Structure 1
Amino acid sequence: MSILLVDDNPVNLFVIEKILRNAGYSNCVPLKSAVELFDYLQLDSSDPNYVPVDLILLDIMMPEIDGIEACRRIQQVERLKDVPVIFITALEDMNILAEALDVGGMDYITKPINKIELLARIRVALRLKYEKDWHDQQEEKLRTELDLATQVQRSLLNPPLKEKNIQIQVSHLPSFKLAGDMYYWNKIDDHRYAVILFDMMGHGLSSSLVCMFISSVLRESIKRHVDPVPVIKELNRYMTLLYNPKNFTNYYFTAIYLVIDTEKKTVEYVNAGHPPGYVFVDGKTLLSLERGSSAVGFFEQIDVHKSVIHYENEIQLLLFTDGVIEANGTEEEQMLDRLRTLAAQKWEAIDSPIHLVLPEDQHANQPDDMCIVMIKAQVTK
């Protein structure tokens, strides 16, 4: 622990240092002016003589640079602005004392110094500093863990898929570092592809953790079942395992899961309470992916109904989460019209889906996660 004592009067320095050392504060550094204070504080943290400062006792009335100006300058240094400053003064001018507190001082003590009062105010200042340091350390730890969780979640996201008979592209924009929207696709065999887009209730840390849990189990479920009906039912079973009647919030998610068969030229899908999504069949017919079950995890048992779409030459699928529909407070029907228009256009190349719906300046600071998946399958010779 290091306490700096700054006073141009050597008698005051001697008295204060003696009081502190007798009270067990052994690491006290007496300084005769603000200039000496600045010189001391400029010691680099890599210097072997550097000791972190826990508290500064600062006289107000000093030549050249007074205590108020010294405190003002200290507050402008990032690594020093949280060091508590207690002013020591013989002044009784309330305006000056108010200014001293306004520039960043935590407290003040008037001269002549009362030993009991001095030690009590030091104990309060140090306790507040230690509490703030503890919270800062916890926040830094949380930021580190959050960054790691963000990296883990991003590693679960698939890269674009570009093969001769199918292309998949996605835009995934979390409103927070961690997202509640997730997508996944898996090549089952030479001609079958499973694709899922799901949106966990809420967003932020808790929904993202549940999201990553489901993202891990759905991979095995898709490999084991493939067919949309048993996959959705199994995901529902996993979600209900998380149910706790003591929790204020229990999670569920909406999803569209589909299997594209480029040999049979079919798309089998289940829409589990998700926004509809659109399908453009053979450049002629625009269809909506209607719901085939309730949201996943909402009920212990759910009825799941699969739908099948056939195509002859090519099929385009546009999937999206509700964050896209609600972007920037846009009227829902207006955004759906924009998405339907996009879905009914012939896609020569799939690049960045979000840019086709929202301008660049509207991508950030959205209230909800946004995800758009564009899929195009075609018959090739």
Structure 2
Amino acid sequence: MKILIVDDNPTNVIIIREILKKENYRNTNTAPSARAMFEILGIGLHPGDIVTTKVDIDLILLDMMMPEMDGIEACRIIQEYDHLKDIPIIMVTAVGDSKKLAEALDSGATDYVTKPINKVEIMARIRLALRLKKEKDWHKERDQRIQEELRLAALVQNAVLTPPLEEELFEVHALYQPASELAGDLYAWYPLGDGRYGIILLDMMGHGISSSLFCMFIASVLKDTVTTHVEPEKVIQELNRRFNQLYIENELVQYYFTAIYIVVDTRMKRIDYVNAGHPPALFFQGNGRIIMLDEVCCPVGLFDKIEMKPQSLYYEDEGHIALYTDGLMEIVEGEHDAQMDFLIGHLEGHHEWNEESMRQAFFNSELQQERDDDKCLVWITLKEGETPE
């Protein structure tokens, strides 16, 4: 526990040090001016001049009236440094002006004591300040541990996302940008045999830890569900059943997720899908026609059973399908039609995947300064070629 005494009067310094010694606070340092204090703290007169990352000062007793720079101005400068602003500062002053004392507290001082110094008063204020700092340091360390754990969890969550797939007649790629460390979007695709592929994109309600944990649960059962049940209606019903098994006692919020699941059959050139409350996928055909996959049923997790009607489409030439979460639409403010026009304008054209173009259009956009929602884009390329017998 180290206390820094800043005072231009040597007598005051001696008095304070003796008081501290008798209370077993023997680890002290002194500075005769604000400039000398800055040197001990490893900073300059202006933020950015010098920065010392490690400072072993736990409390500062700062004289308010000093030559060159008073304690109030010195306190303001200290507050500009993130690694110093949590050090408690107790002003020591002979000034009884309430406005000056209020100014000192506004500048960042934790407390103040008046001269002549009262031993009982100064020690009470020092103990209080150090106790509050200890509690603040504990919370700060805990928050740092939580942030580290969140970063690790984000790495684990990112690891379950499916890598790109490139086949002779079929390709699928994705871009993903979570709104925070942990996200509520999930995408995956699986070869189903005989030239068929299952692709799913889902968006869990909400953000943060709870949504990401629900997402990880779905990820854990997804492969088994898709490869076992295959057909869109059966897959969505099974995910609904599995999700509803997550009973949470005294749950105040009912969690659910939207999802779109597509089965592409490259032999039959057929697309089967179920859209469970998700934004409509866009199917860009080779002839320039655009079809919305907008036949929707209710989201997954709201009811024990979902009433749905699977839809089927056929294609002849090359084309591409864009699946996306609503975070992509929210880049543009305004009505739904304006958002769809923006999406279509950037997604139509060449059927081949162009990551640079998509990243520039949706993930580095200056139109959205803050990420309020997860953003995800899945791009399915349907290629021309000889269809296997």
Q: TM-score range by the shorter chain?
A: 0.7 to 0.9
State the alpha-carbon separation in 1 of the partners of residues 116 and 31 from structure 2.
19
Deviation at 1:122, TM superposition (A): 1.2
Deviation at 1:53, TM superposition (A): 1.2
1:303 aligns with 2:311: no
Q: 1:154 to 1:364 in 2, by over 3 A?
A: farther
Q: 1:35 to 1:245 in 2, by over 3 A?
A: closer
State the alpha-carbon separation in 2 of the partners of residues 286 and 130 from structure 1.
62
Contact 2:281 2:324 in 1 (8 A): yes
State the alpha-carbon separation in 2 of the partners of residues 318 and 144 from structure 1.
34
- 1:252 corresponds to: 256
Match of 2:328 among 324, 348, 353: 324
Q: 1:252 to 1:116 in 2, by over 3 A?
A: same
State the alpha-carbon separation in 1 of the partners of residues 128 and 145 from structure 2.
26
1:106 aligns with 2:100: no
Which stretch shifts more, 352-361 or 216-225?
Answer: 352-361
What secondary structure sits across from 1:188 in the alignment? strand
Count of aligned pairs: 379
- 1:229 corresponds to: 233
State the alpha-carbon separation in 1 of the partners of residues 42 and 353 from structure 2.
58
What secondary structure sits across from 2:385 in the alignment? coil
State the alpha-carbon separation in 1 of the partners of residues 119 and 36 from structure 2.
25
User: Which runs of no fewer than 5 residues in structure 2 stay unpaired?
Assistant: 44-49
State the alpha-carbon separation in 2 of the partners of residues 58 and 310 from structure 1.
78
State the alpha-carbon separation in 2 of the partners of residues 21 and 354 from structure 1.
63
Match of 2:143 among 110, 134, 139: 139
Q: 1:182 to 1:110 in 2, by over 3 A?
A: same
Contact 2:178 2:375 in 1 (8 A): yes
- 1:371 corresponds to: 376
Deviation at 1:229, TM superposition (A): 2.5
State the alpha-carbon separation in 2 of the partners of residues 14 and 90 from structure 1.
17
State the alpha-carbon separation in 2 of the partners of residues 76 and 358 from structure 1.
33
Which stretch shifts more, 246-255 or 333-342?
Answer: 333-342
1:53 aligns with 2:48: no
Identity %: 45
User: What are the residue-to-residue correspondences of 1:189-228 with 2, within 5 Å?
Assistant: 189=193, 191-228=195-232
State the alpha-carbon separation in 2 of the partners of residues 103 and 72 from structure 1.
5
TM (norm. structure 2) is 0.86
State the alpha-carbon separation in 2 of the partners of residues 93 and 20 from structure 1.
27
User: What are the residue-to-residue correspondences of 1:131-210 with 2, within 5 Å?
Assistant: 131-189=135-193, 191-210=195-214
- 2:46 corresponds to: none
Contact 1:90 1:112 in 2 (8 A): yes
Q: 1:343 to 1:28 in 2, by over 3 A?
A: closer
- 1:270 corresponds to: 274
CA RMSD of aligned residues (A): 3.0
Contact 1:243 1:250 in 2 (8 A): no
User: Which runs of no fewer than 5 residues in structure 1 stay unpaired?
Assistant: none
Deviation at 1:33, TM superposition (A): 4.0
State the alpha-carbon separation in 2 of the partners of residues 85 and 329 from structure 1.
46
What secondary structure sits across from 1:176 in the alignment? coil
Q: 1:17 to 1:45 in 2, by over 3 A?
A: farther
Contact 1:167 1:376 in 2 (8 A): yes
Paired letter, 2:91: F
Contact 1:233 1:304 in 2 (8 A): no
Contact 1:274 1:291 in 2 (8 A): no
Contact 1:350 1:374 in 2 (8 A): no
Q: 1:282 to 1:80 in 2, by over 3 A?
A: closer
Contact 1:318 1:373 in 2 (8 A): yes
